[in-house]
Amino acid sequence: MKKLVILGGGTGGTMMANKLRKDLDDDWMITIIDKDNIHYYQPGYLFVPFDINKPREIRRSKREFINPGIDFVISDIANVDWDKQEISTATEGKFNYDILVMATGCDIRPDEVEGLEEGWGHDIHGYYRFNDCQELGKALKRFKGGKIVVNIAEMPIKCPVAPLEFAFLADWYFHERGIREDVEIEFVTPLSGAFTKPVATKVLTDACEDKDIKIIPNFALGSVDHKEKVIQAFDGSEVNYDMLVSIPPNFGAQVMIDSGIADPMGYIPVDKHTLQPEGHDNVWVLGDGTDVPTSKAGAVAHFQGDVLHENILAYVSGGEQHARSDGHAV
């Protein structure tokens, strides 16, 4: 029995398992390893604070979406050894593989910014986690006026347009409540403008102007003083707030750093077209956990998945691998 192991049962891992199960013979065992059985629809995090999505609508069971013929193991991953072709788990032993697909994603790390984690919950909120988006919703309901600062700590982040979407939704929300004139919304970003690409930046900057959302660019967050309600950049500039909606630094899984296969931010270095790490022709990585210079978004993982699907089947049959990823998201 040959073994294909997939690390991560989120968007990328589930999609790859289901695609490959359809096309691989029964002499291939496919196993997904993930730390829990909860699948979050992450795009919905943005809508929960505004009651556009209910929490129960964006939280499902991972097993529900894993097709028959795929084993699902629930355990933390303790170590990834590409040379031994072996995965060590915290509670379910070791798994050898013939092919490894890695889709472990990334997560926010508020502890990486001085003062941010200790201030979390004290007029500092976020929406990149299930519990956080609900707490933010409660905080928005309590907010009666003042300055809301939406701040991206640093790039890369998951879903790079989401912070702007949040600001636009906040504009709409406070209009609906009839208190928009009492609320300032500032968008504070390390980028040189509203977004990363010139065409989108122009459109989105105009939209911010129309909605009276002030953009403060080139702000590299250094620290947060939650008692004084001030965020401070490395160059000494400061922005005060009444509520801070923070998008903290995004890091890849710590276990990848501990296993010695990731960069200091936990992202796994891969060829940006083949999505393989150098020197390991039976390992593929997709989704938010790579160091590929493209958006971290489900749409990107989808198109990367098409490339992996084609190339893995070619690898299995001994053929040439022609598919190449170009990083597009739409």
Partner 1 sequence: MSLLKDTELNHMAKLMFKWAYFNLLLKGAWLGPPDLMMEGKVR
For the CB of residue 323, give the shortest distance to partner 1 in the complex, in Å: 8
Please identify which residue in 16, 106, 231, 261 interacts with partner 1, judged by CB under 8 A. 16
Q: Phi and psi of 39, rounded to 5°?
A: -105, 120
For the CB of residue 167, give the shortest distance to partner 1 in the complex, in Å: 12
Q: Which is nearer to partner 1, 43 or 222 (CB)?
A: 43
Please identify which residue in 67, 192, 218, 254 interacts with partner 1, judged by CB under 8 A. 67
Please identify which residue in 19, 158, 180, 226 interacts with partner 1, judged by CB under 8 A. 19
For the CB of residue 15, give the shortest distance to partner 1 in the complex, in Å: 5
Q: Considering the rule CB under 8 A, would residue 203 count as an interface residue with partner 1?
A: yes
Helix (H), strand (E), coil (C) string for the chain: CEEEEEECCCHHHHHHHHHHHHHCCCCEEEEEEECCCEEECHHHHHCHHHCCCCHHHHEEECHHHCCCCEEEEECCEEEEECCCCEEEECCCCEEECCEEEECCCEEECHHHCECHHHHECCCEECCCCHHHHHHHHHHHHHCCCEEEEEEECCCCCECCCHHHHHHHHHHHHHHHCCCHHHEEEEEECCCCCCCCCHHHHHHHHHHHHHCCEEEECCCCEEEEECCCCEEEECCCCEEECCEEEEECCEEECHHHHHCCCCCCCCCECCCCCCCCCCCCCCEEECHHHECCCCCECHHHHHHHHHHHHHHHHHHHHCCCCCCCCCCCCC
Q: Which is nearer to partner 1, 20 or 148 (CB)?
A: 20
Q: Considering the rule CB under 8 A, would residue 302 count as an interface residue with partner 1?
A: yes
Q: Which is nearer to partner 1, 110 or 287 (CB)?
A: 287
Residues 126-185 that bind partner 1 (CB under 8 A): 168
Please identify which residue in 191, 200, 233, 313 interacts with partner 1, judged by CB under 8 A. 200
For the CB of residue 163, give the shortest distance to partner 1 in the complex, in Å: 15
Q: Which is nearer to partner 1, 44 or 248 (CB)?
A: 44
Instruction: Report how far Cα 293 is from the mean position of its chain's Cα atoms.
Output: 14
Q: C-alpha distances in angstroms, 201 versus 193, 207, 217, 248?
A: 7, 10, 12, 22
For the CB of residue 30, give the shortest distance to partner 1 in the complex, in Å: 12
Please identify which residue in 8, 44, 49, 266 interacts with partner 1, judged by CB under 8 A. 44
Q: Considering the rule CB under 8 A, would residue 204 count as an interface residue with partner 1?
A: yes
Q: Which is nearer to partner 1, 2 or 59 (CB)?
A: 59
Residues 270-299 as x/- pattern, contact with partner 1 by CB under 8 A: ----------------------------x-
Q: Which is nearer to partner 1, 168 or 284 (CB)?
A: 168
311 C-beta neighbours (distance < 10 Å), count? 21
Quickly tell me which residue has 């049962």 as its tokens: 9
Q: Considering the rule CB under 8 A, would residue 57 count as an interface residue with partner 1?
A: yes
Binding interface with partner 1 (CB under 8 A): 11, 14-19, 22, 39, 41, 43-44, 47, 52-53, 57-58, 60, 65, 67, 168, 200, 203-204, 207, 298, 302-303, 305-306, 326, 328, 330
